[in-house]
Structure 1
Amino acid sequence: MSRRPNIIFILCDQMRGDCLGSDGNPVIQTPNLDRLAGQGTRFLHAYSAVPSCIPSRAILWSGQSQWHTGVLGMNRDDVIPCDFPHTLAGELTAAGYQTQLVGKGHFEPQRASMGFEQTVLDESGRMPDSDFRQWFSLHAPAGVTPDDHGVGWNSWHACAWHTDEALHPTSWTVSRSIEFLKEHDRGRPFFLNISFARPHSPYDPPARWFSCYERQELPDAFVGDWAQMHDDPETAKKEDAWRGTMSPEQVHRARSGYYGSISFMDEQIGRLLEWMEREIPDELENTWFLFLSDHGDMLGDHNLWRKTYAYEGSARVPFLIAPPKKMQGDVRLVADEVVELRDVMPTVLGMAGVPVPSAVDGRSLIPLLNAPAEDWRTYIHGEHRACYSPEQEMHYVTDGRRKFIWLPRIQREQFFDLEADPGEYEDLIEGANRQGEIQRWRGYLIRELESRRCGWVKNGKLVAPDSEPLVSPFEKHRWTGSD
């Protein structure tokens, strides 16, 4: 058996950073993720720079900034480029790792490899012939489909899963992952990406998990005074509303389904860990674990739903790294440096001892597992072009302690002190005693946009030149590290 380490990368879709017990959530049940957090390092200030599925995954698999991936939001090509010069899985495959993806890829074309040797896919409603749907049709009762609960893919409504929970895509994803571990080549190290399609809507956990949270008092949505701008009764009537004030009962039901989806996923992760302890304990002791989400979900915070926003519910994500057993005693339990999805690729390549290509913009997090960094980045820059409405196009800069937001289409700036106000209730942009600090944070964003030479900074001020979206020159032309 090879002694190069194995790597299991657990990726979930649309999970907020505050939905872990280890993050301080007083209600949610995530004992298995909390166990991994206790064996390694939890990154307190982890963010998604472009918080929606396609752009965040382009960053993740390429290790590049959003400017270099060319994917600054949704609703242009709506695809993840698969022609990056280097991908995380591709570099590991070339280095001799057995590479497998199980679950959601969200690639285009759907069967594109993105460097993996093999993919076994659940692509929700995007792929009628996905591996999950083929399997489901063979094992479900006659006439039953995965969609029979009647809740849409981007809906804020919630309900219990409508058939046997063993047929749920979350359970299927772990079952197929265990099959891979049973059959993998013991002479090679493996990289297994377990990619859950939940807790992205539909919020449809098994009935026992839905009712568990429906009976409880759950954390209220954060709604600041400034959030009245999103009190939109007409939009709120839509099944897939992106904003609008919902009743406390409606918010509670949505959160019950969302929390239940996370706890069911956690339970299935526990099933995987227990199987490895039982059946392949030597392999388990030589395995790195990473857990991460691509972006969050507003869940009614500030009268907003879904993602693409600069606010914590959408942009901050859970991020855990647990090293192999022999290394676990030396790690920091919590790291407070600001990190981002582009850091995953150099981190994983570092675990495997594989060189990091020059086209990668992220930084390895391995040194942060043991000690604070002396020269870490000051902030990260995030953005998203208009998706649901032009007015929610945004840019932000943050270090996890302060956050400056610019909404260019409505010429609005916001500033939050996240240490004192993690719920972002109070917009401090007009605070007389904060103007020096605000100017410094505004300056970070000006520096980022000025370096692009894209016309969005004039005379040292932020300017959105016209109604056209900001387009990277690397949208069609791949960044190689030297352009």
Structure 2
Amino acid sequence: MKKPNILLIMTDQQRWDTLGCSGNPVIETPVLDALAAEGTLFTSAYSGTPSCIPARASLLTGMDPWNTGILYSSGGGIASGMGGGFEYTLPGELAKAGYHTQGVGKMHYEPQRALNGFHRTVLDESGRVGDPSFVSDYRKWFEDRKTGDYGYIDHGITWNSWMARPYHAPEYMHPTNWTVNESIRFLRERDPEKPFFLKTSFARPHSPYDAVPYYFDLYMRKSLPEPYLGDWCGEHDVATSGTEAWRGRRSAEEIHRARAGYYGNINHIDHQIGRLFYEMRNMGLYDNTLIIFTSDHGDMLGDHHLWRKTYGYEGSAHIPLIVRLPKQMESGSDRHKVDRVVGLQDLMPTILEAAGLRIPETVDGQSMLPLIRDEQVQWRPYFHGEHGVCYSELQEMHYLTDGKWKYIWLARQGTEQLFDLTADPGECRDLANSPEHREQLLLWRSRAVAVLQTRKAGLTEGETLVCQAGKPRIVPPKFTERMERWSRLRAGL
């Protein structure tokens, strides 16, 4: 059988409930809704470490966060940067098997020009400059083609701000358009004698919430979902002054404007994905391409007075995931919705199996193809995610979920939360102290202990969880091993 082409579409910081096919009655995502109708929508997909760098490391390697060694995106640097030294990567395995591989848009590697197995990357790294000499491909393109004396963030909204306003430059210069333009360019100029792997990685809807005027105005006029506010979120109901504050009380007008910019960016991305699909159909590529759509993590958007990501809550950790098989792999038993709990580490084995390739032993994830085909397969009963300190020690957490219940352990506070996601998808009622849910709490706590005690990292003692307040950060052994391997590779040893 002819090897399928592979298109991995990734947005940045898109929460699971911002697609029409996921039940959002306001947002317009007709292209992705149609893709879900052709393929499979995973309704319980999660980010194992819900911030940019660690989430992308799991996707790149198929490994759990503890085994990538990356538990943070920032905040001290240790066990936070992507770096290199991975023995096996998704693009690397595909390249070795004869695929022409290219990454377009946001990669968030370190160093930024690292290929990590790709033949080539064409980068939009937003405002990140890891090396003083680095200029992203998008930034250079923007400066060469701008129509006046302005810069690419002259609208004044920074990369993690809760503020929002319409995009200030012509629509064709928005990074969303550029990302699709470069993806189409690759498809036209690639080696036609090889199957391709293309990662189209958008820098939005991650802030700045700067949708172009058409989309921004569209959602400013709409009634948008209000933030969820839990009975437990009082500690985050505080006055804040910073424009990149990770928590705090914002006015209804500010929240509406942020959501309008965020929703508008998603609608814009959807239309541009439609343009990519149109070109693929014209080239005769669409039918024989495995297409996956997902995001690295979500965005709280004011839920529970929280912004940005890194939390175990649904707005941050629950992500969209659609898999559409190429026509040659379709069967009559393919499911259009799957509620089994999956994660980003499952993408690499899924793609490699679809390409008929061996899955490296380092991969922790499982291929989702049996779930799509409705086959009987042993699957994880629950999913574990985590994140270290980033904005505040209040954040460090571990979470477990089966898509129906959610347990969160706030490790440096030593507190627990329990949510019934079926009855309370917004996580507004914390059941951890509810007597009638005591058995459920003990069940999930025992599961957390079972996951963490194997690490022998001081997280557990017997059958209890050990509060991490005042303790140094835990550095996974795999991080140290990988950094040593990377150093030897760079030294040519």
* Class of the TM-score when normalised by the shorter of the 2 chains: over 0.9
2: distance between equivalents of 1:65 and 1:142?
A: 46
The TM-score normalised by the length of structure 2 is 0.94
2: distance between equivalents of 1:138 and 1:27?
A: 37
Q: Give the Å deviation of 1:220.
A: 0.6
The answer to whether 1:402 aligns with 2:405 is yes
Q: Give the Å deviation of 1:478.
A: 3.1
Residue equivalent to 2:114: 112
1:261 to 252, 255, 265: 265
Q: What are the equivalent positions in structure 2 for 1:70-219 lying under 5 Å apart? A: 70-74=69-73, 75-77=75-77, 78-127=80-129, 129-219=135-225
| Two-structure CA RMSD over aligned residues (Å) | 1.4
2: distance between equivalents of 1:345 and 1:373?
A: 21
Q: In structure 2, give the amino acid aligned to 1:325.
A: K
Q: In structure 1, give the amino acid aligned to 2:13.
A: Q
- After the TM superposition, which segments of 4 or more aligned residues of structure 1 sit over 6 Å from their partners? none
Can you give the 5+ residue segments of structure 1 that lack an aligned partner in the other structure?
Answer: none
CA deviation map 1:113-167 (0-9, x unaligned) = 0100011000001145111011111111132211111100000111111011100
The answer to whether 1:433 aligns with 2:432 is no
CA deviation map 1:291-324 (0-9, x unaligned) = 0100000000000000000000000000000011
Q: Give the Å deviation of 1:328.
A: 4.4
**Secondary structure of 1:424's aligned partner:** coil
2: distance between equivalents of 1:3 and 1:352?
A: 9
Q: What are the equivalent positions in structure 2 for 1:287-302 lying under 5 Å apart? A: 287-302=289-304
1:349 to 323, 348, 352: 352
Q: Give the Å deviation of 1:325.
A: 2.6
2: distance between equivalents of 1:84 and 1:349?
A: 17
Aligned length: 475
Q: What are the equivalent positions in structure 2 for 1:412-427 lying under 5 Å apart? A: 412-427=415-430
Greater CA deviation, 142-151 or 314-323?
Answer: 142-151
1: distance between equivalents of 2:331 and 2:453?
A: 44
Q: Is the 8 A contact 2:84 2:483 kept in 1?
A: no
2: distance between equivalents of 1:249 and 1:174?
A: 32
Q: In structure 2, give the amino acid aligned to 1:365.
A: M
Greater CA deviation, 190-199 or 368-377?
Answer: 368-377
Specify whether residues 395 and 155 from structure 1 end up closer, same or farther in structure 2 by C-alpha distance, changes over 3 A only. same
Q: What are the equivalent positions in structure 2 for 1:263-278 lying under 5 Å apart? A: 263-278=267-282
Q: Give the Å deviation of 1:36.
A: 0.8
Q: What are the equivalent positions in structure 2 for 1:350-365 lying under 5 Å apart? A: 350-365=353-368
CA deviation map 1:15-41 (0-9, x unaligned) = 000000000000000011111101100
The answer to whether 1:391 aligns with 2:394 is yes
**Secondary structure of 1:100's aligned partner:** strand
**Secondary structure of 2:266's aligned partner:** helix
Q: Give the Å deviation of 1:382.
A: 0.8
Residue equivalent to 1:241: 245
2: distance between equivalents of 1:448 and 1:95?
A: 35
Q: Give the Å deviation of 1:380.
A: 1.0
2: distance between equivalents of 1:452 and 1:197?
A: 34
Q: Give the Å deviation of 1:387.
A: 0.8
2: distance between equivalents of 1:288 and 1:374?
A: 22
Q: Give the Å deviation of 1:449.
A: 0.8
2: distance between equivalents of 1:473 and 1:276?
A: 44
Residue equivalent to 1:66: 65
Q: In structure 2, give the amino acid aligned to 1:24.
A: G
Q: Is the 8 A contact 1:63 1:344 kept in 2?
A: yes
The answer to whether 1:464 aligns with 2:464 is no
1: distance between equivalents of 2:404 and 2:214?
A: 37
Residue equivalent to 1:313: 315
Q: Is the 8 A contact 2:138 2:175 kept in 1?
A: yes
Q: Give the Å deviation of 1:359.
A: 0.6
Specify whether residues 263 and 33 from structure 1 end up closer, same or farther in structure 2 by C-alpha distance, changes over 3 A only. same
Specify whether residues 377 and 125 from structure 1 end up closer, same or farther in structure 2 by C-alpha distance, changes over 3 A only. same
1: distance between equivalents of 2:385 and 2:88?
A: 23
Q: Give the Å deviation of 1:329.
A: 5.8
Q: Give the Å deviation of 1:326.
A: 4.0
Greater CA deviation, 382-391 or 124-133?
Answer: 124-133
Q: Give the Å deviation of 1:246.
A: 1.0
Q: Is the 8 A contact 1:68 1:478 kept in 2?
A: no
Q: Is the 8 A contact 1:39 1:328 kept in 2?
A: no
**Secondary structure of 2:209's aligned partner:** coil
Q: In structure 2, give the amino acid aligned to 1:162.
A: H
Specify whether residues 388 and 92 from structure 1 end up closer, same or farther in structure 2 by C-alpha distance, changes over 3 A only. same
The TM-score normalised by the length of structure 1 is 0.96
2: distance between equivalents of 1:25 and 1:95?
A: 40
Q: Is the 8 A contact 1:359 1:479 kept in 2?
A: no
2: distance between equivalents of 1:402 and 1:263?
A: 30
**Secondary structure of 2:232's aligned partner:** helix
The answer to whether 1:252 aligns with 2:251 is no
Q: In structure 2, give the amino acid aligned to 1:198.
A: R
Q: Is the 8 A contact 2:370 2:377 kept in 1?
A: no
Q: Is the 8 A contact 2:331 2:373 kept in 1?
A: no
Can you give the 5+ residue segments of structure 2 that lack an aligned partner in the other structure?
Answer: 485-493
Greater CA deviation, 325-334 or 219-228?
Answer: 325-334
